[in-house]
Amino acid sequence: MGDNLDIDALKKLQWKIMQNVAASALIPLMRIGDHLGLFATLESTGPASAEDFAAAAKIDTRYAREWLLALSAAGYVTFHETDERFSLSPEQAAVFANEDSPALMIGAYDLLAGMVSNEAVVKEVFPTGAGVAYENSHPCIFQGTARFFKPSYATNLIQKWLPRVDGVVDKLQGGGHFADIGCGFGISTMMIAEAFPNAQISGFDIHAGSISAAEKLSADAGMAERIQYSQASAKDYTGSYDVLAFFDCLHDMGDPLGAARYAFEHTREDGVIILIEPTASDVAADNMNTIGQMYYSFSTMGCVPTSKSQEVGLALGAQAGPARLCGILEEAGFRDARVAHKTATNMVISARK
Q: Which residues bind ligand SAM (CB under 6 A)?
A: 134, 145-146, 149, 182-184, 187-188, 205-207, 210, 233-234, 247-249, 252-253, 306, 310
Please identify, using beta-carbon distances, which residue of 118 and 188 lies nearer to ligand SAM.
188
Q: What is the smallest separation between the CB atom of 235 and ligand SAM, expressed in angstroms?
A: 7
SS3 for 278?
strand
Smallest gap from Cβ 211 to ligand SAM, in A, equals: 9
Closer residue to ligand SAM, CB minimum distance, 249 or 320: 249
Determine the Cα–Cα distance for residues 217 and 212; give it in Å rounded to an integer. 9
69 or 257, CB closer to ligand SAM? 257
C-beta nearest to ligand SAM: residue: 184
Q: Quick one: angle between helices 208-220 and 187-195, nearest 10?
A: 40
CA distance 128 to 136: 17
Q: Decide whether 167 or 313 has the Cβ nearer to ligand SAM.
A: 313
> Minimum CB separation from ligand SAM for residue 150, in Å?
8
How many residues belong to the chain?
353
Q: How many CA atoms lie within 13 A of 8 on its CB side?
A: 0
Sheet of 78-80, strands arranged across: 48-49, 85-87, 78-80
Q: In whole angstroms, how close is the CB of 89 to ligand SAM at the nearest point?
A: 29
> Cβ 352 to ligand SAM, closest distance in Å?
21
Nearer CB in complex with ligand SAM: 107/271:
107
Q: Smaller CB distance to ligand SAM: residue 50 or 217?
A: 217
Tell the smallest beta-carbon distance from residue 18 to ligand SAM (Å): 31
The residue (of 59 and 108) whose beta carbon lies closer to ligand SAM is 108
- The DSSP code sequence of 211-265 is HHHHHHHHHHTT-TTTEEEEE--TTT----EEEEEEES-GGGSS-HHHHHHHHHH
Q: Which of 296, 315, 314 is closest to 304 using CA atoms?
A: 315
For residue 209, what are the contacts with CB-CB under 8 A and spacing of at least 6?
135, 139, 142
Closer residue to ligand SAM, CB minimum distance, 43 or 215 = 215
Give 133: exposed, middle or buried? Use CB within 10 Å, 0-12, 13-18, 19+: middle
Residue 289 C-beta: closest distance to ligand SAM, Å:
21
> Which residues make Cβ contacts (< 8 Å) with residue 20, sequence separation at least 6?
none
Beta strands 78-80 and 85-87, pairing class: antiparallel
Task: Provide the minimum distance between the beta carbon of 244 and ligand SAM in the complex, in angstroms, as a whole number.
Answer: 12
Q: Between residues 68 and 183, which has the closer beta carbon with respect to ligand SAM?
A: 183
Rounded alpha-carbon distances, angstroms, from residue 72 to 86, 141, 220, 278, 289: 8, 27, 37, 31, 26
Shortest spacing between CB 271 and ligand SAM, in angstroms: 19
